[in-house]
Amino acid sequence: MQLNPYLSFNGQCEAAFKFYEQCLGSKINAMMSWGELPDDDPMAGQVSPEWRDKVMHISLPVGDRELMGSDSPPEYYEEPKGFSISISIDGPAEAERVFKALAENGTIKMPIQETFWAARFGMLVDQFGIPWMVNCDQAS
């Protein structure tokens, strides 16, 4: 069994995942637009022309998991709430780098710092409205 986060965006999915590529040092490995749906797919006829270039599915490998997402059609989109993407990073310097990168044009909720459980821990909401927790465990 494998658990992977799947993020919903309101038209900014491709920009968000290109940002995550840079922040997390990975490469998008799959992306399909709503306009690429096969004609016989029931959703194909329901997508408005201005939404055809938006992302229907995207995938970014992060460690041994995938960060996935899509642009939800406006009538289905809801702002993120009640969760955070938690990322565990080896090494305080790398944790600080990733935190700073993800926080660009976002909102820091808890500055990255040493805590009783972590060499570094911080919380932020990125510029696309996605909440993150960046953690670097204390050395054993």
Calculate the alpha carbon distances from 76 to 7, 35, 68, 69 in Å: 13, 18, 17, 14
pLDDT score of 74: 85
Closest CA to 31 of 53, 55, 15: 55
For range 131-135, the mean pLDDT = 98
**Contact, 134 vs 121, CB < 8 A?**
yes
Q: What is the mean pLDDT of residues 16-42?
A: 92
Residue 47 has pLDDT above 80, yes or no: no
At residue 115 the predicted structure's pLDDT band, cuts being 50, 70 and 90, is: very high
Cβ(106)–Cβ(127) below 8 Å: yes
Mean pLDDT of the chain: 94
User: Is residue 71 a contact partner of residue 11, using CB atoms and an 8 Å limit?
Assistant: yes
Domains and CATH numbers, the chain: 1-78 (3.30.720.100), 80-140 (3.10.180.10)
* Half-sphere exposure of residue 137: CA atoms within 13 angstroms, side-chain side: 4
Q: What is the pLDDT of residues 64-107, one digit of tens each?
A: 999 999 999 888 899 999 999 999 999 999 999 999 999 999 99
User: Residue 111's pLDDT is what?
Assistant: 98
What is the mean pLDDT of the segment spanning 121-129?
98
CA torsion angle 78 2 55 21 (round to 10):
100
Q: Report if pTM > 0.85.
A: yes
Q: Using CB atoms within 10 A of its CB, is residue 5 exposed (0-12), middle (13-18) or buried (19+)?
A: middle
Which of the two residues, 123 and 49, has the higher pLDDT score? 123
Model pLDDT, residue 16: 98
